[in-house]
Amino acid sequence: MKIKFFGEFLVRFPLAAAILFGTGCAHSFGSEQSPHTPAAMHIVQRMLVVVNVGVLVKPMTAQQASAQLKLETLAASLRRCLSNTPAQVRITFTNESTFNAEAYQAQAREFYADAILTLQLRDCVVDRLGNYPFLYFDAVLFNEINKQYVWRKPVTISGNPGAIDKRTQQLAETLVAGLCADGLIEAR
């Protein structure tokens, strides 16, 4: 009796979890702790944001992930979330397979940025039940003045591709909330 119950539990529990979490219940979350070096960073006044979506080659192509992500919506969401801060922002997109923040230092100097925030799409996994993408990002803040990496936060967005605008807004909110919580940008 115990073996039969245990066997049914092993079959039904993952199936119930997949149905519950695969039907559009989506989330955006980051790490509980954002490793950073507070002494190495001042409050950011001018920030260059570089979003890289060019690292995908498996289950979904970079073009498909970019279309799912709607880059213009991400830029608008970041601008909207950062409008509550005194930081001035310039956002640029790239799809390089090998991303190097130092390559954007010329743009940062031109903009007089004191920080570069890189948002790199690390992976995209499509679940088999609803074909919902899980997009895994890595956000890193680089202090342009003393040339040090000072903050990092992994962020995941997922859910129904039809609601990707909402997921993109959640991504922007998660990033800005993390930067504010760690004292790297001021909230008005």
pLDDT tens-digit profile of 84-109?
889 999 998 887 766 666 678 888 99
110 vs 10: CA distance, rounded Å: 58
Average pLDDT, the chain: 74
* CA 10 and chain centroid, separation: 33
Decide the pairing of beta strands 46-52 and 88-94.
parallel
- pLDDT at res. 40: 65
- pLDDT at res. 159: 73
- Stated as kind and residue range, the H or E segment containing 153 is strand 148-158
- pLDDT at res. 116: 92
Whole-structure pTM value:
0.72
Q: Identify the CA nearest to 185 among candidates 78, 77, 49, 82.
A: 82
- Stated as kind and residue range, the H or E segment containing 144 is none
For the chain, the domains span 27-181
Out of 51-65, 113-127, 149-163, least confident range: 51-65
pLDDT in tens, 33-44: 445 565 667 889
Q: Which fold has domain 27-181?
A: Double Stranded RNA Binding Domain (3.30.160)
Instruction: Quote the tokens at residue 169.
Output: 């807004």
- For residue 161, pLDDT over 50 is answered with yes
- pLDDT at res. 60: 54
2, 119 Cβ separation under 8 angstroms? no
Out of 9-13, 15-19, 164-168, least confident range: 15-19
Q: Is 155 exposed, middle or buried (0-12, 13-18, 19+ CB in 10 A)?
A: buried
